[in-house]
Amino acid sequence: MQRETFRIRQFTNPSGGIAFRVSGMIDDKRIRKNFRTKEEALAGKQQFEIELLNLEPATRLKSTRLSDPQLLEAEKAFTDLGDKSLSAAVRFYLENAQEGIKPIRIDKAYRQFLSDKTSENLRSESIRNLKSRVGFLAKAYPKKKVHEVQQHHIEEIINQPGRGLITRNNCRLALSGFFSWAIENRHCLQSPMRFIKAAKVDQAEAEIFSNTQVESLLVSASSFKSGVLLPYLAIGIFAAGRPNEIGELSWKDIDLDEQTIRISSIVAKKRQRRITEISDNLLAWLVPHALSRTPIKGRNFRRNFKAVRIAAGVLDDWVPDIMRHTGISHRLALVQDESKVANWAGNSPDTVHKDYKGLVTRKQCERFWNITPDTVQNKIIRMKA
């Protein structure tokens, strides 16, 4: 049975007479009118019902579970959104609302992040990387709250002019780590990195030294300050040590009788220790310095290192890990076994195959493993003279 929109109620007025009241709603307005007789009240009721039926459909009273305040708020929301969807706005809010967080400024969060990562025993090299790359964000928006950072803020930082694709990807990786930490610590609920994809980088061929450059480098090192840099360079070239690995070596890690170098898990990549075989020509370069215990990486290293590279004429050709690339590519040409070379160098067989296969000819390989103090003796004498 349909519920009546307007009702008639009989009542006694203050003067003691009988009256009839019609009440109801038209266009959100309460209607209430008194009549002297019931017939007049019925006529008035019919008139109100006709007025209601004549209203435009958009403003006609409709059945809803919303309260009057909720209806008013919904009307305002539709007005504010214009032609945009209220449901879409609600979804956006639910996905991006930052309720229940612990607000923190980026500069303070940056310091706490580095402190936490240091306490997790990350290596100094990793800490330096995070300090530099997350530092871009801290310098750009120090006073902004972490949860206020949006995707476009990150894109402005990563895509700074002059930054190559690899650098951009490294920034993206470091900042992703920062926002993951922020989520764990309730400084934000979602990461602005989630829609920022890594740039696609074409795999560049590993750059290596020619045999002539290797000889020039070792000759220059032999003639510079009694060969103070020679152990470092020789191990980097002929044992393919990573710079941070060589820098942490001492002579107790080098067994010349067994012809091995022990790379401990403390310095090895992914903390995987390994034993690297010393080639015969590397042994010849190391023996004199093992007797005198020349530091593997001594004082004033940066200044001395640059001076030797300038003297050898390779400063402009120097790229990161070029000594390691040179050693691995020649080792693969000699051994012809990716797995053995991977164990020797602390890489994966796939990486060895992909990055180093086919860079060196048989003739170049043979000459490389025969570069010794004796084969370059005349050049050393001329350099010292």
pLDDT at 353 (0 to 100): 93
The model's pTM: 0.63
Q: Are 187 and 101 in contact (CB under 8 A)?
A: yes
Do 106-184 and 211-384 come out as alike in CATH topology?
no
Structural domain spans, the chain: 1-62, 106-184, 211-384
- The per-residue pLDDT for range 41-78, each reduced to its tens digit, is 888 888 887 777 776 454 555 667 778 778 778 878 87
Task: Give first-to-last CA distance, the chain, whole Å.
Answer: 117
- Report the pLDDT value the prediction gives residue 70, as an integer from 0 to 100: 81
Phi, psi of 21 (to 5 degrees): -110, 130
Strands 18-26, 274-277: pairing is unpaired
Q: What is the pLDDT along the chain (385 residues), one digit of tens a residue?
A: 445 678 888 888 878 888 888 888 877 778 888 888 888 888 888 888 777 777 645 455 566 777 877 877 887 887 787 778 888 877 777 666 666 789 999 999 999 999 999 999 888 888 999 999 999 999 999 999 999 999 999 999 999 888 888 889 999 999 999 999 999 999 999 999 999 999 887 777 899 999 999 999 999 999 999 999 999 999 999 999 999 899 999 999 999 999 999 998 887 776 788 999 999 999 999 999 999 999 999 999 999 999 999 999 999 889 989 999 999 999 999 999 999 999 999 999 999 999 999 999 999 999 999 999 999 988 888 777 6
Q: What is the pLDDT of residue 2?
A: 44
211-223 helix and 230-238 helix, angle to the nearest 10 degrees: 160
Residue 13: per-residue pLDDT: 80
The CATH number, out of the four listed (1.20.1630, 3.30.160, 1.10.443, 3.40.1000), of the domain defined by the range 211-384: 1.10.443
Phi-psi region of 79 (alpha: psi -120 to 50; beta: other; left: phi over 0): alpha
| Closest of 44, 47, 310, 320 to residue 164, by C-alpha | 320
Fold of 106-184: DNA polymerase; domain 1 (1.10.150)
CA distances from 148 to 105, 151, 157, 184 (A): 10, 10, 15, 16
